[in-house]
Chain A
């Protein structure tokens, strides 16, 4: 099956620093990737849709200058949390959508637990 690799799995940083999270589709080309945020025992909240070669589409209430998304190739999307603050602490998880008939299925990375001190 399709594999999505997400790094790092866990990061602890000081308030005010920026953190980059990478999401790679390992064995397929992902024209579209999605970034979600999840609080403990809560749902996955869609933050943005990342399309290869174009600007990301952010959901209402998500600050685009705070959460920078780049999708430079068909296999890599990055999320940078800029000037992180404790309230940004959360589980961030990416997913990729296939380009074939299985494009209704999302393949998820293993997630990144961000802790901002």
Chain B
């Protein structure tokens, strides 16, 4: 099976930098994705890492270490609108490609 762990909640102030960690266990790891979901809304794709290293997309960056089964999402210059849930998700190829989500991290951005 697969399992992912990420913190349940993080609080930060506007303008700050926050890092959301994710560790995973899966037998058929193919890649790690990050999604953002606002309350009542659909998840939206933020980033994807298949290889070790850092991927940067604007204010958001994502990192992966396959040897450590670890990744993180880095959010810079936090804005109030970044308050949302952030999910790490593994793309797993065992039994056919599918995406399994972690429990999510609720980020609260304060003024």
Contacts and interface: CB of A to CB of B under 8 A. Distances in A.
Interface of A: 32, 34, 36, 41-46, 49, 57, 93, 95, 97, 104-111
A38 B71 CA distance: 23
Given A43-B87, A44-B87, A104 B31 contact: yes
Contacts of B101: 36, 43-46
Contacts, number: 54
Contacts of B106: 41
Query: Which bucket holds chain B's interface residue count?
Result: 20 to 34
Contacts of A44: 43, 87, 101
A43 B33 contact: no
A101 B31 CA distance: 14
Interface string B91-102: 100011111111
Given A42-B104, A43-B87, A104 B50 contact: yes
Contacts of A105: 33, 45, 48
B42 A34 contact: no
Q: From DSSP, what is the main secondary structure of chain B's interface residues? A: strand
B42 A108 contact: yes
Interface of B: 30-31, 33, 35, 41-45, 48, 50, 85, 87, 91, 95-104, 106
B98 A34 contact: yes
A16 B35 CA distance: 35
